[in-house]
Amino acid sequence: MTTSQRFLNPTLFKSLASSNKNSPSPFLRLKSASTTFNFKPLTSSSATIITRAAVSSSDSGESITRETFHGLCFVLKDNIDTDQIIPAEYGTLIPSIPEDREKLGSFALNGLPKFYNERFVEPGEMKSKYSVIIGGDNFGCGSSREHAPVCLGAAGAKAVVAESYARIFFRNCVATGEIFPLESEVRICDECKTGDVVTIEHKEDGSSLLINHTTRKEYKLKPLGDAGPVIDAGGIFAYARKAGMIPSASSA
């Protein structure tokens, strides 16, 4: 059973669906997909390539845009907590304010212990050159602040690949739609190094594949399941509007 199957809150979806009895199911089943990706070599250390591919749902016939990422990875180990992801002193910043959101991104992973020699965001910069974060066990443990996934997304990260996640961090990733929390089947953080060039691409069975072009190794990632379409839509409220469960922002 994957993290998404264990920790996606069905009660939240039920309450949204109850407001519109004729709305489609809040869970989109990805039973078939066809994706093709053609990548060019990275031309600089900070380059990030995002390829968008249409993934179709055989149940609804709806086409969902699923992103595939190609760039540099930033490698961490076990028990990376929310204070290390975004120190509590920056909790007064409001993500819905563009200036504050940008500042949050500049402070992403600013609380890491000093034995991490590389900085996720270089001093004086607002964005990170790393598009994929690779972690170990229990990534995102600690407090429930939603600033943790928001700051990573604001810094430019597109996905985290970890051995396992703290429940609240995983659910905040899904609710905000800021970043894809993908689970690895093996301990990738021991086999990758910060600065390796990686690609995350999506497979027809709903799983994903991480390709390390530096080491020439491939790793299968677990399916996101019902959480995938919610993140694709941009978070729980964007998904609910798209599914007709709540009014769109323009009509509200």
Q: 22-55: per-residue pLDDT in tens?
A: 333 333 322 233 333 333 334 334 445 555 444 4
Whole-angstrom Cα Rg for the chain: 18
Whole-number average pLDDT of the chain: 80
Please answer whether residues 86 and 148 qualify as being in contact, where contact means their C-beta atoms are separated by less than 8 angstroms. Answer: yes
pLDDT at 202: 84
pLDDT at 250: 67
Q: What is the pTM for the complete model shown? A: 0.76
159 against 39, higher pLDDT: 159
Residues in Cβ contact with 228 at an 8 Å cutoff, skipping those fewer than 6 apart: 4, 30, 66, 206
202 against 114, higher pLDDT: 114
Average pLDDT estimate for 65-90: 91
44 against 169, higher pLDDT: 169
